[in-house]
Amino acid sequence: MTVTKWLPKYRLNQVKHIAPLATFRVAFGIMMLASIIRFWANGWIAKQYIDPDFYFPYLGFEWIQSWGEPGMYILFALMGIAAIGIALGAFYRWSATLFFVSFTYVELIDKTNYLNHYYFVSIIAFLLILVPAHKAYSLDAWRKKKQEFYVPAWSIHIIILQLTLVYCFAGLAKLQADWLLEALPLKIWLPSRADTPIIGPLLNYKLTAYLFSWFGAFYDLSIPFFLLWKRTRIFAYLTVIVFHFMTAALFQIGMFPYIMVVSTLIFFSEDFHKKLWHKIMPIQKPLLTHSSYFYKPIVLQYFLIIFFGLQILLPFRYALYPGKLFWTEQGYRFSWRVMLMEKVGYTQFTVNLPEKNKAFEVIPSQYLTPVQEKMMNTQPDMILQFAHFLRDQYQSDYNSEVEVFVESYATINGKGSRPFIDPAVNLATVKNSYQHKNWVLPYNQ
Amino acid sequence: MRNLRFSFFILIVSVFFAACDNESGSEKVDFDRQAFLVNMADNVIQPSIENFALEAEGLSVATNSFNENISLESLEVLRAELKEAWLVYQHLAFVQVGPVANVNLRDRVNIFPAKADVIEENINTQDYVLGSASNVAAKGFPALDYLLFGTGETNEDVIAYFGNPDLGNNRLQYLTDLVEDIQTVSNIISQDWPDYRSTFVGNTGTDVGSGTSLLVNEYNFQFDIRIKNAKIGFPAGGNPRTGGVLSPQDVEAFYSGWSGELAEKAVLSSIQVFKGEHFNANEDGLGLDDYLLALNAKTRDDQDLSVAIINQKTLALEEMEKISNPYSEVASAEGSQLVEVYNALQAVIPLIKVDMTSAMSVSITFQDNDGD
């Protein structure tokens, strides 16, 4: 039994022109190259992946480590070459694979640097490995002297589906009391940006925060559908541009707005993209309809169903844990929760050597970069990792039993700081796992 | 169909207005960050810098007199000048921005405890560079504290230390070099301040490098690490709540016994800077407290954050005032009063480091983020 039987109207292998996919490939490759150049030029390779003495790996990925200097630069150079390969469609499968692997590897080194848009890039890069985006308008096609203009529908639709998921989950995450009824955290953030040119003074008004909050939620939930619908598409795309450029002006969110602005072009029609390509490469005459991709990809079908099924489930995994999601952050990442809360924390670690009757007050900045410390202060799993790092450090220095306690406070959306981690729990003996963290104090105790 | 759509629209609009009902539409954050920065620059920071330069000059003059005539009187004058300068420093340490940060004031003049052995070795070998990393604890106020108080049991012993026929001149030279270093620092700061001032007041944002961001971060660092930890916590055995090895010799001004006065001055200064109080007059300008009020920042118990911060600091100050002996003596006893002070100071930390930075949403980095 094939999956297509359950979805009678959707034909996986319906013939589509490659143009939208090719545009996406080129745009994505260029954006990635720009991101890498920007990252490099800002000195962030060293700052984030060479300078720190300690990294916060993901559970199960501890084997992923920084390559140091010059290793990290080589890795980023390879990533850049791969991005060029994607844009040009040169040795495309290899380029896409290399890009996905190198990019994801770098992201897994340190949780500190987790961004939803990096997660997005990893996923898109992975999907690009699967699709035949290089069969035309590419160096590979030129090299092989063979342009294949038709691709199966799924290769375009999975990218549209992915974008839709991102927007919808980001929108769903906004449907909660703080965001809608109190305009938080925008009510805190916007006035701090009151020095922004032109619209700055407006940002001091509470009404502005409410308008932005409501518009943001509505935008995220609806924009993919307005983009899908031909009659609203142009207007929707203008909204995309305005929305993302606005967020770029107001917040420190890097390349994400620009990536979204070019990515959403894939919602446009075949004809739109064909015309676009015709202007750039006016030579082609349609050849060859059926490429090797029109096999019956049973394995691929099941794979994609599992892949997207997992993606739909992941944002809901928080429901498996007790407590307030924003407080414990159990199941917070990899769920498209973007710009959703203003959280600040403070931690003070005390290391005890009971056998030696010694106690040490640890100043985290001695070991961590300011960003690492800031991120750790609000995320219990990172607090635990740092506690274990201190345990190992003092154990080897003093060859003695070590206890690690933390006094910690945090606040969400300006609702007042409160105790965060149980100060009586010796974190040195707590295991790092996906189990519920009962040593995080309840939000309302 | 159209009717349905219209009702939906009405529903959305009414829910929206219901949501904003308790906030009037024109309600806004009414705070002039530029005026705040100007007040901090001209009425808080600049006079503090000038005052520090003045005291450094006084210290230098007294050192010269002591050099010319080593006597009990000149020693007393010199000690008094040291105390004045050290007290004034406590205020300036809270505004380590611009040129004050460039010279790294805190690390340059007030790393304690002083390392007496390094100081003595420097004096003996006559081969030292005060700027080198190995000498951070062999210079500044703590080193002067050692030279003027720690080199003899009695005043006569201290006089004899400098009058020593073999090493006396070396010791006087070291003393002079230390004072000169402080004066150099104060000169650099006062010279560079006017240039930096426009940068400081010109950047009214909250990004890294903006006046507000620098001020808040440095303020918090000074209070948490350099007051709570260094002045109280470390001598009392790390975190006095969990216990540890008491280290009374680690207090600030161990030899002169001024630890209490300096710490009280530091907390008092932190309140003055917080309020944006004019340095010279008793006038309350636009400060961090006014900013928090404008932002309507509250504590968990719905108290005004600015009020809570001032109250808790005042409480800490009261705990400090209960202690009359030098902290080194207090810290020698287990379960000392320093624990009370420490607890009172620690209660300030979440308010300034968590609630205040959150309310102002100041950045600490240029790095991308997507809101935690």
A361 and B234 within 8 Å at the Cβ level: the answer is: yes
Which residues, at least 6 apart from A90, have a Cβ–Cβ distance to it below 8 Å? A84, A134, A138, A139, A140, A143
DSSP E strands, A51-181: 150-152
Is residue B74 helix, strand or coil?
helix
Burial class (CB in 10 A: 0-12, 13-18, 19+), A299: exposed
Distance CA B189, CA B176 (A): 20
Q: Give B319's Cβ-side CA count (13 Å radius).
A: 23
CB B142 within 8 A of CB B250: no
Q: How far is B314 from chain A (nearest CA, A)?
A: 20
How far is CA A255 from each of CA A118, A190, A244, rounded to the nearest angstrom?
A: 10, 20, 10
Q: How far is A79 from chain B (nearest CA, A)?
A: 19
Q: Which pLDDT score is estimated for B23?
A: 47
CB A150 within 8 A of CB A274: no
A342 and B30 within 8 Å at the Cβ level: the answer is: no
- Taking contacts as CB-CB distances below 8 angstroms, the residues of chain B near A338 are 370-371
How far is CA B315 from each of CA A296, B220, B233, B252, B310, rounded to the nearest angstrom?
A: 76, 18, 17, 21, 9
Q: Which pLDDT score is estimated for A4?
A: 46
| Type of residue numbered B241 | R
Per-residue pLDDT of chain A (445 residues; tens, 9 = 90+): 444 455 455 677 788 899 999 999 999 999 999 999 999 999 999 999 999 999 999 999 999 999 999 999 999 999 999 999 999 999 999 999 999 999 999 999 999 999 999 999 999 999 999 999 999 999 999 898 888 888 888 999 999 999 999 999 999 999 999 999 999 999 999 998 888 888 888 999 999 999 999 999 999 999 999 999 999 999 999 999 999 999 999 988 889 999 999 999 999 999 999 999 988 877 656 555 455 555 557 888 899 999 999 999 999 999 999 999 999 999 999 999 999 999 999 999 999 998 888 888 888 888 999 999 999 999 999 999 999 999 999 999 999 999 999 999 999 999 999 999 999 999 999 999 999 999 999 998 7
DSSP H helix total and E strand total for chain B:
18, 0
Spans of chain B, pLDDT less than 70: 1-25, 238-244, 334-335, 370-372
- Count of CB pairs separated by less than 8 Å, A with B: 163
How far is CA A216 from each of CA A95, A171, B60, B294, rounded to the nearest angstrom?
A: 35, 8, 62, 26
Q: Which pLDDT score is estimated for B334?
A: 67
Q: Which pLDDT score is estimated for B206?
A: 84
**Pair of tokens at residue B359:** 């309310």
Structural Rg of chain A based on CA atoms: 24
Q: Is B367 on the interface with A (CB under 8 A)?
A: yes
Q: Is B2 on the interface with A (CB under 8 A)?
A: no
Which residues, at least 6 apart from B20, have a Cβ–Cβ distance to it below 8 Å? A206, A207, A210
- Taking contacts as CB-CB distances below 8 angstroms, the residues of chain A near B302 are 416
Which of B243, B297, B354 is facing A410, going by the closest CB pair?
B354
The percent of chain A in helix, strand and coil, each rounded to the nearest 5, is 60, 10, 30
Q: Which pLDDT score is estimated for A441?
A: 97
pLDDT digits 0-9 by tens, B276-295: 999 988 899 999 999 999 99
Q: Which pLDDT score is estimated for A102?
A: 98
Q: Is A374 on the interface with B (CB under 8 A)?
A: yes
Count Cβ neighbours within 10 Å for each residue of A86-117 and write b for 16 or more, e otherwise: bbbbbbbeebbbbbbbbbbbbbbbbbbbbbbb
Residues 153-192 of B with CB under 8 A from A: none
Q: Which pLDDT score is estimated for A2?
A: 47
